[in-house]
Amino acid sequence: MAGITSLENFRRVAKLNAPVTRSVERRQNLGLGLLLGFLTPLFLLIGGLMVFIVLWSVDKPSDGTTSAASPTNALFGGLGAFLIAFLLIGAGVSILVKRKRAWLRHRAAAAMGQRHGWHFLLEQDLAEFEGTLFRVGANGIVEDALHIHEPRFAEVGNYSFAPSDRNNQRFEIGFVSLKLPRSLPHMYLASEKRSRKPRAFHLPFTSDQKLSLEGDFDNFFTLYCPREYERDALYVFTPDLMALMIDRADGYDIEILGEWLFIYAREPFDMTNEEVLEITETFNDTIGDLTERQTRRYVDDRTGDPWQVGAAGARLRDRRVLITALLVSAAGWIVGAAFVLIYAQTTGILDKLTG
C-alpha cells in the first residue's frame, strides 16, 4: 500500500489516488462557475439596471403619467438583486474557504506523519476494509489515513459516512487497524463503557452469538463470535489478553476479522495531533503483540489451513441479512401460493376440490 512520504506538490499528488475528492471538487467547481461566473454577474446587472432606472426617473421631469411607485419599486428591486448577488458571492467564498481549510488539515496530517516516518493517504478504497464499521452508512470514505509497515502493518484514520443516500449529514469515527500473521474467526468486542457520545452505528449481529467470558470481562465488553466457534474464541481471548484490552482499550470496540484487528473509537481522531500516533503505537505494541503471539499457532480445525477460516466462522451472522432472507422467502411462498391457486382455478381443479 503506497502512501505520500513527501510534501512536494502535495495537493496534486494526494489527489492522484483520491477519486472521491476529485469528484467532489469537480462538482464544486461547476457550482462555483454557475454562482460566480453567471448568476452573480446576472443579478449585479439586474441591480445596476434597476438603479439606473431610479436615477433616470429622478432626473427626468414628471409629466404626470409616471406612477410615483415605479422608481420605488425599481429601487427595492435593485437592492434585492444586489443582496442576492452578495449572498451568492458569500456562498462561493464559503466553499473556497472550507476547501482551503480542508487542504490545510490534510497537509498538516501528512506533515505530522512524515516527521515520524508514517505514510499518508488522502483517501482509500473501501474494498480494502472488511471491518463491520466500513459497511455502515452510505457514501463512506476512509480519509487522512497514516500507516507504517514495521514491526507490523498498522494504520490509523477516520471513516466518514452519511446515514443514507438521502441524508447529507456526515459522521466520522476514528479507527486503528493492525495486520495479524494468520486468519482468525470473526469476533467482535463491543465496549460496555458509558460515554457522552454513543456508538454512531447499531451492531448488526444476532444476540444468539454472544459469548460470556470469565471474570468481570463482561462488564467491559460484550463478545460476539460465530456459533460453534466458542472454543476458538476462548483460545484467542486468554485472561492476560482480556486484562490488557480492559487496561488499554476500555471504551473502544475491538474487531478481529480474518488477518485484521480493528479498534474503533466513538469519535473521530484529530489526524494533525501526534497523540494519534502514540495511541496507535501503544495498541500495536501491546494488543497487537500479544494477539499475534497468542494466535501464531492457531489453525481452524475445520479447514486445517492456517490462512483460511471455515465458512461458518468467516463472518458473524448479520440480522439485516437474516431479515432480508426471511422477507424474500415469505414473498416467494406468497407468490408460489398465488400461482397454485390461479392454476387450480383455471384448470377446474379447485372446483372439484371444493365441490
pLDDT digit string (tens) for the chain, length 355 residues: 567 777 888 888 888 888 888 888 898 889 888 888 888 888 888 888 887 777 776 655 555 555 555 667 777 777 888 888 889 899 999 999 999 999 999 999 999 999 999 999 999 888 889 999 999 988 899 999 999 998 899 999 999 998 887 877 889 999 999 999 889 999 999 999 887 777 878 898 999 999 998 788 999 999 999 999 999 999 999 999 999 999 999 999 999 999 999 999 999 999 999 999 999 999 999 999 999 999 988 999 888 887 889 999 999 998 644 444 333 344 444 544 455 455 445 665 545 555 5
Cβ atoms of residues 156 and 264 within 8 Å: no
Residue 5 counted as domain residue:
no
Same domain, yes or no: 196 and 221: yes
Q: Let me know how long the chain is.
A: 355
Domain that holds residue 330: 319-354
Provide the number of structural domains found in the chain.
Answer: 3
Rounded CA-CA distance 77/46 in Å is: 8
What is the Rg, in whole angstroms, of the alpha carbon atoms belonging to the chain?
A: 31
259: nearest Cα among 228, 221, 288, 286: 288
Same domain, yes or no: 341 and 197: no
Same domain, yes or no: 149 and 278: yes
Same domain, yes or no: 143 and 173: yes
pTM: 0.79
Element (H, E) at 160: strand 154-162
Same domain, yes or no: 134 and 22: no
Element (H, E) at 344: helix 319-347
In angstroms, the Cα distances linking 354 to 161, 345, 346, 351 are 58, 11, 14, 5
Residue 3 counted as domain residue:
no
Same domain, yes or no: 143 and 111: no
Query: CB neighbours of 23 closer than 8 A, spacing ≥ 6?
Result: none
Residue 288 counted as domain residue:
yes
Same domain, yes or no: 239 and 151: yes
Residue 120 counted as domain residue:
no
